[in-house]
Amino acid sequence: MRTVEWDNERDRVLLIDQRLLPGEVMVRSYDSYQDVALAITDMVVRGAPAIGATAAFGLALAALRSSAQTVQALREELKRAADALMSSRPTAVNLKWALNRMLRIAEECNGDVDVDLLREAILAEAQQIADEDVEINQRMARYGVKFIEDGDTLIHHCNTGALAAVDWGTALGVIRMAHKMGKRFHVLVDETRPRLQGARLTAWELSQYGISYDVISDNSAGYFLQTGIVQKVFFGADRVAANGDVANKIGTYMLSIAAVDNLVPVYCVVPTSTIDLKLTGGDQIPIEERPQEEVLELKFYDRKTTPPGATARNPAFDITPHRLITAFITENGVVYPPFERNLANAVKDLRE
């Protein structure tokens, strides 16, 4: 099944609970937009494209569960629901992009239209967003495979596979496509602390596809880059500013610095919905700081790694300056510097 899917029989959202992987594959169902928002916050679902599609389905739930009898009343309820969903994860711009696209359907609807027809249109738009995501991911993969050659060793950070999207994936989708084409290569998978998305999710996906990999600790990436073992670095993004600065999972900045210092190209694979042209630079991107327990509750041989009374800081993302990015791989092609001009061209006519 897809990471996020609509249950037509019961009108509910189905999500793979990524917190339980790789040990257990469990599908959870959600019947209200409030529960969907909580699922996003609690990281039942994560990854910018998957979050966007999930939020869209959450708004469809709000429409279907609403008792509003007029278009105007339904619009007001949808705006309240969108506000709640918008606050669930502040860094991923796909969330805002998807919700704005959904709200536009309601705003452009003639007030004389039957309110049930608007509900149907809202659900249809959410399904369209989900279906488009799969097609967009595969287009990015086709553009990106030329950067992977036989014999390469790649470093991949966080999780950008099918679990981070509706299906297929962004950066890991490129790697998956290269494997499908018969290319032979090896992937070094950053653990991606503290939630270990690399060790838990990326490694699990690579195992499913039969792709050669090793899990490495985040702080060993510099060693593998410095010794010449690695030829390319791949990751996704939760938001890209107009100048090409990238907000991505914490650790991306350190990885990119080490790659550039060792003349290893750095590729960021993103749909154009992740590019936020309204922000001129990465310093304007909000950085989510998650609960300190995610750091403090880590265990080593079933024992906590921190002493009693310890406190922690837990930023979920960092900003990688555009000068460290070799190119962006999007569904509209590969984007090279100067990013401020070329990213805008890639997004042209696709954003409000």
Q: Are residues 68 and 209 in the same domain?
A: no
Residue 289 DSSP class: B
Give the separation between CA 271 and CA 92, rounded to whole angstroms: 12
Q: What is the pLDDT of residue 111?
A: 66
Give the separation between CA 8 and CA 35, rounded to whole angstroms: 18
- Single-letter residue type at 193: R
Q: Are residues 154 and 111 in the same domain?
A: no
- The answer as to whether 352 is a domain residue is no
Count how many domains the chain has.
Answer: 2
Q: Which domain holds residue 192?
A: 143-347
**Over the chain, what is the mean pLDDT?**
95
| Domain C-terminal end among 138, 163, 189 | 138
* Alpha-carbon dihedral sign for residues 38, 43, 48, 52: negative
Catalytic residues: 238
At residue 196, does pLDDT exceed 60? yes
Q: What is the pLDDT of residue 90?
A: 83
Give the strand pairing for 4-7 and 12-16. Answer: antiparallel
Which ranges of 17-114 does DSSP label H, i.e. alpha helix? 33-41, 48-65, 71-86, 93-108
> Which of 106-120, 159-173, 272-286 shows the lowest mean pLDDT across its residues?
106-120
Q: Are residues 77 and 208 in the same domain?
A: no
Q: What are 33-80's pLDDT values in tens digits?
A: 999 999 999 999 999 999 999 999 999 999 999 999 999 999 999 999
Give the tokens for residue 35: 């529960």
Q: Are residues 178 and 298 in the same domain?
A: yes
What is the total residue count of the chain?
A: 352
Give the separation between CA 27 and CA 7, rounded to whole angstroms: 12
Which ranges of the chain does DSSP label H, i.e. alpha helix? 33-41, 48-65, 71-86, 93-108, 115-144, 171-180, 197, 203-209, 221-226, 252-261, 293-296, 339-347
Q: What are 291-317's pLDDT values in tens digits?
A: 999 999 999 999 999 999 999 999 999
Q: What is the pLDDT of residue 91?
A: 83
CATH number assigned to the domain comprising residue 164 = 3.40.50.10470
Q: Are residues 337 and 284 in the same domain?
A: yes
| Domain C-terminal end among 138, 164, 185 | 138
Measured at the CA of 183, the angle between CA 237 and CA 149, to 5 degrees, comes to 65
At residue 352, does pLDDT exceed 90? no
| Domain C-terminal end among 121, 138, 155 | 138
